[in-house]
Chains A and B, each alone.
Chain A
């Protein structure tokens, strides 16, 4: 819920370790625990020097004496000093506890990481051993064995406790390792050729460190408890030596008559273990960023009466503690209207949405006013909110599996929304749910209503969210990034459904998106947010035609447009959004190309002229001179065309086929056939050339890419790098490197940038000298400074991190750079910078790129050639200009028409081809043309037989080839 806050907080260049330490120091329980543990250690080791009595001394003159000056804590039945005995016992117990915890945790870390990483037999053995130990309590085993170990002394005892104490932790480490294995920085290391054990020690184990530290801490307490328990029964420490357990056992019979003999060791034991547990708990809280130390009571107060528009937000301010997230937002939405809200991540868009439903996380201070159909939301009680939510105002969150309760059926979840506000019986609500599912275009709604959320695709779940939102005919629908992370074709469908739903219900729609194309398509009015405020606000046509704030200009200029193509020079907005704080000047000043000293003196107000409001001192000037984004940012409007170099192929893939076994059944896995993820693919990339591979998710583009990176000869087909077939060995000349989608995930957060960049060189055993020379070189190459090598990834913005990832890939001078959606996780303002960098590098170094993406606009700006993939096949391939200028395949046409263009004039006048249905799963291998089931042309032509009978082959000339029996003739 705090993603946005966390995202902003993450930008703050403060070391994570320091934050953790600070949180730990603030944790009162943990501090108390630490102090107590320290004192007890002091007592255990300094104590023996404080009294003249040794623990085994016998004072015949003092039997069972209560505490006195001679014997501080009294004596026992044979005249031994309880203080020195307890201190000695404490010492023993602490030593045993520590030794056991350290050895058990080490063992658990090693076994768990190895079993999790390598899987297979080691993993099965581990799981079996853990299960066996479960049914065979270790306490029983130790009790049986321990008396036989007397000769081995306490070292043997420690060993015994450790041997039986590591399994459960090992199981947790294994689970952690399995999820880490999927993390991109680990996969990146694998693709760079780092050896498996190195990966385990360099990347996996350090990442489990926080768990291990906590686990070891708690294990100390656990071991002390086990030791005392065993000793109590005589299975632990043997006389004449003492431990807390033996002392308690000795004191038990006379606990009521001579309490001191019993209570001192008992109290010490409990106090120690409590303290250790408190330390462990504090560590956990300090490491886990979501555990909130609740600050003071948040202030929630409506400072104005609610207006009577559908949504009327006035001077809304939201903050968490001292960090202001929203700093005075004003918004009005009238019935039936669509308001678009744009801005980079962290600008406060989502917080505004949550605030409108009163869904802000606890701990948020809120002032101002939010009127929803005339009712005040700020400070409203639960009943009022319950009446509004889902009834008058509904919200659609960004799709994620987690937005629907996993254990309830889809239909029931919708029916629940109906019943929350209408007095209808279960059956009626169910029927209504099925109707709603049909309304949002779910085929077979009666049957699909019975499904669980995980059985639905992202697009289908988003339809469900819409169905839920319109269940009670709301007056206002808020959609928070409803199509982010969906394929363009599915995005187009969802936007369509959203439009229909909004029209059907007559509701107002607030559409929050980072995608200006989506906003241009849908919105009547647009509000641009920056640093917790609205900085520009106008009708959609006006805003896109005459943006007046340099920030808006930057956002618009940064978006790649398929209709402009490679000539477009993208505008990168420098720097990054400020963290949540108050501003004395214009919050954009640090990034603004038009900043003047006066901008920093006072924050410009949002001032209107003819319904176009903008918060910028120089807006008048921009309006007068009609400045364009490239002019404001001082870069040439277009790039000079670079001729593709072509030449000898760097990569040559022919007839590549990749199949996976298809399993059925959750418990009994049975192989029931194979999935043809890639089914006969040809790719060729010349030196200095960029080939884009595009298609919806599941079309097989990632599989193709990993086959190429895997560097093993494929079963069917061939892969050649620089004319040599791949055979699993490294070849300096024919090296391939990879840049992953998400630079947050693909860089190990625990390594300094220098080490990250050097990793591929290390894997190829480059000399330290070569590495030291190369690292500053590549950092400079990607526009960073050599001095950055010593910093950690979290100190960089998303765009800079992607530059680090590119530097890492370039360090070994690869012939081919594979880019897997390299900009889709970045804000558009940052994306522009990375795309420009990639274009520059290609021109300067003559690199060849294989650019895998689902974003056709990006393809248009960067690629020379494009291959469109559908269900494991290339359906169209050729020069970008030829293919995008006049797409020959119906699928390419549909993809292109689904890309929203950030220009309402173009976007709204465009013919749109909506593809029906979703991309079929990779398992299907239809006969004839694979695209038939969704092909608009097939339907339009009256379902010609040839499409069903014959699999179309790629035909055409050198500029373009298309696999369709009815390819549109090239018009260019």
Chain B
């Protein structure tokens, strides 16, 4: 088991290195930081722009590999460079990472747990009204892009607030600015702010998980070993949970890694739409600003979280399937 983990970790490390390299290459060649400076009023002289670019490590006269080596040298020491506005990417990263993680973790938890539950329920009640209803709902959710779902939630909340005449659901930012009060008030405020963003990324995950879990469970429900378990005289619950769900969860652990991608992508929209200053928002803004170093940093963040999800999936798999440990 330890050997297996070590192997996975080293594979992940290789992936991460290649990802960092490609991310840099892509960002450095596809973005044009020069445009950012030239768009200033009044346009600065070319020499000055060059100097500024060079100070950011983005001197276009140098080959991109040299620029990468320069960046990698700093990155290895934990320095992700300067953003195009001159600030430290590290500082910005630090400010934003918590914001995003909060959304990602909550959204994933919500989606996974409820998705599995709904999927199993649907499989057991296959073709009944409840199954058909959840299926249809899942399809509608799956067919709504996250940005649209977020918008709809926002519009709904806005309408609700207007109708009741009170700020029932706050949805801009992560907290009400300058709110003073007890710890509980602050916590409740943050909770309310979390509601819509978490929902908008959690619901999509929930929908897709429920579909996959349903079909995984249906496969297992038709299996011979479930019939054997029934023939032993086990109760329905034991058959379904101990023999059914346990094995139906195994393929889901692989899907968990894929599913996390969706959460991550969804979070980008959610942050932008609800005004959360997280990594996703930063990403969109950085592209628009042609901010190479920041874009690379966000890509690294994305790669890192997906790899963590992958590792978690591996561990879950090993926990569910003792044959892997064996």
In the bound complex, CA of A273 to CA of B152 (Å)? 16
User: Does the CB pair B233–A137 fall under 8 Å?
Assistant: no
In the bound complex, CA of A139 to CA of B268 (Å)? 10
In the bound complex, CA of A939 to CA of B146 (Å)? 74
User: Does the CB pair A144–B145 fall under 8 Å?
Assistant: no
Name the segment of A388-396, A534-542, A644-652 touching the other chain: A388-396
Is B229 an interface residue when CB atoms closer than 8 A count as contact?
Answer: yes
The 7 A-B residue pairs with the shortest CB-CB distance, nearest first, are A273-B143, A390-B233, A389-B233, A390-B232, A402-B224, A274-B143, A135-B303
Is B26 an interface residue when CB atoms closer than 8 A count as contact?
Answer: yes
User: Does the CB pair A137–B30 fall under 8 Å?
Assistant: no
Residues of the B chain whose Cβ atoms lie less than 8 Å from the Cβ of A407: 246-247, 250, 320-323
- Residues of B119-151 whose CB lies within 8 A of A: 126-127, 136, 139-140, 142-148, 151
Answer whether A405 and B228 are a contact pair too, CB < 8 Å, given A221-B143, A233-B272, A667-B4.
Answer: yes
Residues of the B chain whose Cβ atoms lie less than 8 Å from the Cβ of A281: 139
Residues of the A chain whose Cβ atoms lie less than 8 Å from the Cβ of B250: 407
Answer whether A402 and B225 are a contact pair too, CB < 8 Å, given A136-B303, A359-B231.
Answer: yes
User: Does the CB pair A421–B229 fall under 8 Å?
Assistant: no
23 inter-chain pairs at a CB distance below 8 angstroms, sorted by A residue, are A132-B22, A134-B310, A135-B307, A136-B23, A139-B265, A139-B268, A140-B268, A141-B26, A144-B30, A145-B26, A225-B143, A294-B126, A382-B236, A385-B233, A389-B232, A390-B231, A394-B231, A397-B224, A405-B228, A407-B320, A417-B232, A454-B323, A667-B3
| B242 vs chain A, min Cβ distance (A) | 8
Residues of the A chain whose Cβ atoms lie less than 8 Å from the Cβ of B269: 229, 232
Query: At the interface, is chain B mostly helix, strand, loop or mixed?
Result: helix
Extra inter-chain contacts (8) besides given A143-B287, A421-B233, CB under 8 Å: A135-B302, A137-B306, A225-B143, A262-B151, A403-B228, A406-B323, A407-B247, A417-B233
Q: 1/0 per position for A132-157, CB-CB distance to B under 8 A?
A: 10111101110111011000000000
| B148 vs chain A, min Cβ distance (A) | 6
In the bound complex, CA of A140 to CA of B127 (Å)? 39
User: Does the CB pair A137–B265 fall under 8 Å?
Assistant: yes
In the bound complex, CA of A148 to CA of B28 (Å)? 12
User: Does the CB pair B261–A134 fall under 8 Å?
Assistant: yes
| A135 vs chain B, min Cβ distance (A) | 4
User: Does the CB pair A388–B16 fall under 8 Å?
Assistant: no
Q: 1/0 per position for A415-457, CB-CB distance to B under 8 A?
A: 0110011000000000000000000000000000000101000
Q: 1/0 per position for A354-374, CB-CB distance to B under 8 A?
A: 000101000000000000000
Residues of the A chain whose Cβ atoms lie less than 8 Å from the Cβ of B222: 1, 290
Residues of the A chain whose Cβ atoms lie less than 8 Å from the Cβ of B146: 229
Residues of the B chain whose Cβ atoms lie less than 8 Å from the Cβ of A1: 222, 224, 227
- Residues of B1-58 whose CB lies within 8 A of A: 3-4, 7, 15-16, 18-19, 22-23, 26-27, 30-31
User: Does the CB pair A266–B148 fall under 8 Å?
Assistant: yes
Residues of the B chain whose Cβ atoms lie less than 8 Å from the Cβ of A667: 3-4, 7
Is B182 an interface residue when CB atoms closer than 8 A count as contact?
Answer: no
Is A255 an interface residue when CB atoms closer than 8 A count as contact?
Answer: yes
In the bound complex, CA of A143 to CA of B261 (Å)? 15
Chain B residues packing against A (C-beta within 8 Å): 3-4, 7, 15-16, 18-19, 22-23, 26-27, 30-31, 126-127, 136, 139-140, 142-148, 151-152, 155, 158-159, 162, 222-225, 227-236, 238, 243, 246-247, 250, 257-258, 261, 264-265, 268-269, 272, 283-284, 287, 295, 298-299, 302-303, 306-307, 310, 320-323, 326
In the bound complex, CA of A417 to CA of B228 (Å)? 10
Query: At the interface, is chain A mostly helix, strand, loop or mixed?
Result: helix
Is A190 an interface residue when CB atoms closer than 8 A count as contact?
Answer: no
In the bound complex, CA of A143 to CA of B15 (Å)? 21
In the bound complex, CA of A634 to CA of B52 (Å)? 102
Is A319 an interface residue when CB atoms closer than 8 A count as contact?
Answer: no
Residues of the B chain whose Cβ atoms lie less than 8 Å from the Cβ of A252: 151
In the bound complex, CA of A139 to CA of B283 (Å)? 11
Is A468 an interface residue when CB atoms closer than 8 A count as contact?
Answer: yes
- Size bracket of the A interface: 35 or more
Residues of the A chain whose Cβ atoms lie less than 8 Å from the Cβ of B298: 140
Residues of the B chain whose Cβ atoms lie less than 8 Å from the Cβ of A145: 26, 30
Residues of the A chain whose Cβ atoms lie less than 8 Å from the Cβ of B235: 382, 386
User: Does the CB pair B15–A131 fall under 8 Å?
Assistant: yes
Is A87 an interface residue when CB atoms closer than 8 A count as contact?
Answer: no
User: Does the CB pair A668–B258 fall under 8 Å?
Assistant: no
Is A75 an interface residue when CB atoms closer than 8 A count as contact?
Answer: no
In the bound complex, CA of A290 to CA of B19 (Å)? 42
In the bound complex, CA of A143 to CA of B272 (Å)? 14
User: Does the CB pair A277–B299 fall under 8 Å?
Assistant: no
User: Does the CB pair B233–A420 fall under 8 Å?
Assistant: yes
User: Does the CB pair A278–B139 fall under 8 Å?
Assistant: yes
In the bound complex, CA of A468 to CA of B234 (Å)? 13
In the bound complex, CA of A324 to CA of B310 (Å)? 50
Is A745 an interface residue when CB atoms closer than 8 A count as contact?
Answer: no
In the bound complex, CA of A203 to CA of B108 (Å)? 41
Q: Which chain A residue shows the least CB distance to B32?
A: A148
User: Does the CB pair B30–A148 fall under 8 Å?
Assistant: yes
User: Does the CB pair B224–A134 fall under 8 Å?
Assistant: no
| B89 vs chain A, min Cβ distance (A) | 16
Is A248 an interface residue when CB atoms closer than 8 A count as contact?
Answer: yes
Q: 1/0 per position for A206-230, CB-CB distance to B under 8 A?
A: 0000000000000001000100110
Residues of the A chain whose Cβ atoms lie less than 8 Å from the Cβ of B236: 382
User: Does the CB pair A144–B232 fall under 8 Å?
Assistant: no
Is A269 an interface residue when CB atoms closer than 8 A count as contact?
Answer: yes
Answer whether A405 and B227 are a contact pair too, CB < 8 Å, given A144-B30, A229-B145, A386-B233.
Answer: no
Residues of the B chain whose Cβ atoms lie less than 8 Å from the Cβ of A294: 126-127
Residues of the B chain whose Cβ atoms lie less than 8 Å from the Cβ of A668: 3, 7
In the bound complex, CA of A524 to CA of B94 (Å)? 81
Q: Which chain B residue shows the least CB distance to A354?
A: B227
User: Does the CB pair B232–A420 fall under 8 Å?
Assistant: yes
In the bound complex, CA of A409 to CA of B321 (Å)? 11
Determine which of B151, B228, B261, B287 lies in contact with A255 in the assembled complex, contact meaning CB atoms within 8 Å. B151
Is A404 an interface residue when CB atoms closer than 8 A count as contact?
Answer: yes
Max chain B C-beta neighbours (<10 A), residue from A277, A394, A668: A277
Answer whether A147 and B261 are a contact pair too, CB < 8 Å, given A394-B231, A402-B224.
Answer: no
User: Does the CB pair A135–B234 fall under 8 Å?
Assistant: no
User: Does the CB pair B232–A277 fall under 8 Å?
Assistant: no
User: Does the CB pair A134–B306 fall under 8 Å?
Assistant: yes
User: Does the CB pair B243–A405 fall under 8 Å?
Assistant: yes
In the bound complex, CA of A408 to CA of B321 (Å)? 9
Max chain A C-beta neighbours (<10 A), residue from B229, B231, B238, B246: B231
Max chain B C-beta neighbours (<10 A), residue from A274, A278, A400, A668: A274
Q: Which chain B residue shows the least CB distance to A358?
A: B230
Q: Which chain A residue shows the least CB distance to B324?
A: A666
Q: Which chain A residue shows the least CB distance to B228?
A: A403
| A808 vs chain B, min Cβ distance (A) | 33
User: Does the CB pair A359–B230 fall under 8 Å?
Assistant: yes
In the bound complex, CA of A389 to CA of B228 (Å)? 10
| B240 vs chain A, min Cβ distance (A) | 12
In the bound complex, CA of A533 to CA of B246 (Å)? 39
User: Does the CB pair A389–B322 fall under 8 Å?
Assistant: no
Is A42 an interface residue when CB atoms closer than 8 A count as contact?
Answer: no
Residues of the A chain whose Cβ atoms lie less than 8 Å from the Cβ of B126: 294
User: Does the CB pair A136–B302 fall under 8 Å?
Assistant: yes
In the bound complex, CA of A270 to CA of B257 (Å)? 26
Residues of the A chain whose Cβ atoms lie less than 8 Å from the Cβ of B264: 137
In the bound complex, CA of A147 to CA of B29 (Å)? 12
| A743 vs chain B, min Cβ distance (A) | 24
User: Does the CB pair A168–B258 fall under 8 Å?
Assistant: yes
User: Does the CB pair A270–B233 fall under 8 Å?
Assistant: no
User: Does the CB pair B140–A132 fall under 8 Å?
Assistant: no
Q: Which chain A residue shows the least CB distance to B132?
A: A29
Determine which of B18, B127, B145 lies in contact with A132 in the assembled complex, contact meaning CB atoms within 8 Å. B18
In the bound complex, CA of A131 to CA of B18 (Å)? 11
User: Does the CB pair A228–B227 fall under 8 Å?
Assistant: no
User: Does the CB pair A132–B19 fall under 8 Å?
Assistant: yes
Residues of the B chain whose Cβ atoms lie less than 8 Å from the Cβ of A766: none
Is A662 an interface residue when CB atoms closer than 8 A count as contact?
Answer: no
Max chain B C-beta neighbours (<10 A), residue from A134, A293, A465: A134
